[in-house]
Amino acid sequence: MSTQEVAGFLDEHRVVICATNGPHGWPHLMPLWYVVRGEEIWAWTYAKSQKVRNLERDPRVTLQIEDGERYDELRGVMIEARTEIGRDAELVTELGVELFRRYTGASGDELLDMVTRQASKRVAMRFVAQRTASWDHRKLGGTY
């Protein structure tokens, strides 16, 4: 996919699978809601989650967003990234509001109050891409 196609794909989809390195050497895969800020994917999660413990030990992550049912429809983006964990309450709250606006359409004081209550238990994750790969089997024209 072109850079513009990747950006459109990320905007269109809603769940990223986040793979961290688990404590016993096995990949730890978890779905996350995300937002795109510039060219970066951001997400939040509970500060005490296994993925955060994994990222504190090793900040490398692989993210994947994919789509399609049949082989000739498959498309996706895989991003190898380094993760920066943000614990600043203002940053976490701002990200939480952005996430809930994207996924629920909610806004206003009620949203801010709900996110503020959750923010103290959460962290922001900024995924800084090191390498990106994408594919779109729809472009194969039936030759596979």
What pLDDT, on a 0 to 100 scale, did the predictor assign at position 39? 87
Average pLDDT in the 56-64 region?
98
pLDDT band at 108 (very low <50, low <70, confident <90, very high): confident
Which tokens go with 16? 């990223």
**Cβ distance 137 to 144 under 8 Å?**
yes
> Domain limits of the chain?
3-85+126-140
Average pLDDT in the 107-118 region?
86
pLDDT band at 143 (very low <50, low <70, confident <90, very high): low
* In this structure, CATH architecture of domain 3-85+126-140: Roll (2.30)
Average pLDDT in the 78-85 region?
98
- Determine the distance from the C-alpha atom of residue 85 to the mean position of all C-alpha atoms in its chain, rounded to a whole number: 13
Average pLDDT in the 97-106 region?
89
